[in-house]
Chain A
Amino acid sequence: MGEFKFITTSSPHIHSGESVQKIMFNVAGALLLPTAAGIYFFGMRALVLVIITTLAAVLTEAIFQKLRGKPITVWDGSAMVTGILLALNLPPGLPLWMAVVGAAIAISLGKQVYGGLGMNPFNPALIGRVFLMITFPVQMTTWINPVDGTTGATPLQIMKMQGVSTDYVKLFLGNIGGSLGETSALMIILGGLYLLYKGYIEWRIPGFYLGAVAILSVILGRDPIFELLSGGLMLGAFFMATDMVTSPISRLGKIIFGIGAGIFTVIIRFYGGYPEGVSFSILLMNAFTPVINRYTVPRIYGEVKVR
């Protein structure tokens, strides 16, 4: 038996088989549901937008890593997820070159300048989106109506300007104007439930985010169902606030993060200049994440009251 050479790495000797790549591809898979809704309501243009944005994101990551002399890790799927997420947050009619710029900014300024995967403080897709909103405000707020392809206002804009609500069923199914992937609450929830079931997101952030928005809406005399179903809230709560890299790690931290994002969203929607505030809310809470992590260190087993 002497000829064997044994591996002698330290315990544990087995692994769950989980990997970053598996997580990213599952998230991407779940994102196909709202993507499909976008294609259904806005046509092939939406599909092209998603593909172009995703390719741009992946390519930017590869170029950046090449320039920095780092190993190219685009197969981990994280740039793909950022690309799809960004596309889902764009108006379906946005000029493609603008989407490409957004994707390049998302990956370069949102992720790679910080050192790449795992190091970025802010959700890269949201960095890309906010950059586009500031740079191309007109194109970023030109919404297509699903029915006739004409341009029009989103339900949140109609609510803000005229105080008129939109039919719940339409909001739920997605037959409304808005960003590519945020129209169908149904598909977003299905995708979110899939990720919850697989354990790739955990319930506290979306749960407390949506809960905070609903409760504050009731308190402030708004229609909570309308607020939950319209705008980017569902997409943000399930797919962007839950971004692992930029949200807290402790259970309590996740609760605080969710509630905080809910409060900011309500403040911006009800009292701010923009009709929608999900992107800004999540980015604001991203900024708070390190502080939240610092102050929500769990009580450990056997820890007697310290100080």
Chain B
Amino acid sequence: MLKTFRGGIHPPYNKDFTKHKPVERAKLPDRVIIPMSQHVGAPCEPIVKVGDLVKKGQKIGEAKAFVSAPIHASISGKVTAVEPKPHPGGGMVMSVVIESDGKDELFEGIKTPKPLAELTPDEIKNLIRESGIVGMGGAGFPTQVKLSPPPGKTIDTIIVNGAECEPYLTADHRLMVERPDDVVLGLEAIMKATGVKNGYIAIEENKPDAIEAIRKAIQAKDGIELVELATKYPQGGEKQLINAVTGREVPSGGLPMDVHVIVDNAGTCAAIANAIKTGMPLVERITTVTGTGVNEPKNLLIRVGTPFSEIIEQCGGFKGEVGKVIMGGPMMGLAQSVLDVPAVKGTSGILVLAKNDVNLSEQSPCIRCARCVDACPIHLLPTTLGKFAERGMWTEAEEYHALDCIECGCCAYVCAAHIPLTQLIRLAKNHIVASKKK
């Protein structure tokens, strides 16, 4: 039996653009723009200044707070600017711009750590922190923070999220096919760091080659199980995944650790494995460059900080009339207004939609068809919440659990009246949160 959750949708997956394409190493960028905030939590403070020479893997942003992650140079070269730059997540963020010297020299401080068997849990956590590893599924929560639950919270299960339920994206898929041992090593490191004996790697059944690769990789491993999930969006949503794998429900307003679970993305595990094997911090990642508006869709291994324009150029540039350039997938990704934003640690994909594929239908009145109600994986009443938001009824929206919305986009996707329900609920959430701060 395939595991899953109640609700959700079956959008066209459109993964054929890239799912059979092996990961290609992108060419060394001439210039990288590295934002000092690529994670949830406090931004880093730049520790280099204009004119400094830096090398690949050298720390350039110091994380002072507990919920933060340091940032490293992804190429060698000269710092040409330390100033606010446009960020793909929106707004201007303090960034370090490095002009490449073309040598791609490794920082001398990078040393191969001891093998995993000899590392203590604290050493593993420290390595993860110092390597700047954050959740690579898009949210960017500092991984080490997840692995350090406050006293009183016990963890008994680790789930590796290999669902990759967003249409179009295949970065995790290719990673699991090509480097399954890294995903498993990363999971083992997390299990050792937390002292947990139960590990799961959960993959949607539409990736049979990834399932096969992981199955082989875990054959001789104790305590690690493969979970095949039904293909349904948002299967990879943290709450939906936990529910599907363990049957547990994260309490409203709570965190996975409240039900004794840690979820980490497959890409995050591979980054941990890389740190353990080579000592390299997180300076590159696999990004799926795809969509109907790009000439040669690819899975590219890119350096953090590479501008979108350069990445898209390496994929043959734009095709036809482009409607949207999105960081991430079509359901939850962020539409970009400019192309000089850099790919960051959480950039799982760059999706270019042709103009014809962008939904610009006019809104009509809600006929209460309740498609949104059936689709909502949190079992909210999106139509009701949308009406509250339209009328500014924030108290009522809160009573109807607006804050529990995970913004997966299912409601707006199915809405026959083309009402931007997700956006309306987001608006309600912002108002509710703002009123609480007062």
Contact = CB atoms under 8 A, between A and B. Distances in A.
Interface of A: 1-2, 4, 6-16, 18-23, 73, 76, 78, 116-119, 202, 244-245, 247, 249-251, 293, 297-304
Contact of B358 (A1, A13, A250, A299): A13
Nearest to B258: A302
A260 B289 CA distance: 54
B416 interface: yes
B142 interface: no
A298 B373 CA distance: 9
Interface string B29-69: 00000000000000000000000000000000000000000
Contacts of B9: 16
Contacts of A202: 370, 374
Contacts of B361: 15, 19
Contacts of B418: 15, 19
Contacts of B384: 249, 293
Interface in B235-277: 239, 243, 249-254
24 contacts: A1-B309, A10-B423, A11-B407, A12-B410, A12-B413, A13-B353, A14-B413, A16-B414, A18-B414, A20-B365, A20-B416, A20-B417, A23-B369, A249-B370, A297-B400, A298-B380, A299-B379, A300-B252, A301-B252, A301-B378, A301-B379, A302-B254, A303-B252, A303-B404
List the 3 closest pairs (A to B, CB-CB), nearest first.
A12-B409, A118-B365, A15-B359
Interface centre among B357, B365, B371, B377, by most chain A C-beta atoms within 10 angstroms, is B365
Interface of B: 9, 11-12, 167, 239, 243, 249-254, 309, 312-313, 317-318, 322-326, 330-337, 339, 351, 353, 355, 357-361, 364-371, 373-374, 377-381, 383-384, 400-401, 404, 407, 409-410, 412-418, 420, 422-423, 426
B interface majority secondary structure = loop
B292 to A, nearest CB: 11
Nearest to B408: A12
Contacts of B367: 20, 23, 78, 117-118, 244-245
A14 B368 contact: no
A97 to B, nearest CB: 31
A14 B11 contact: yes
Nearest to A22: B416
Among the interface residues B359, B367, B414, which one has the most CB atoms of the partner chain A within 10 A? B367
Contact of A13 (B359, B371, B401): B359
A73 B383 contact: no
A117 B368 CA distance: 10
A13 B330 contact: yes
Contacts of A7: 323-324, 335, 355, 358, 360
B365 A250 contact: no
Contacts of A119: 365
Nearest to A117: B365
Given A6-B324, A19-B361, A118-B365, A244 B318 contact: no
A293 B339 CA distance: 46
Nearest to B353: A13
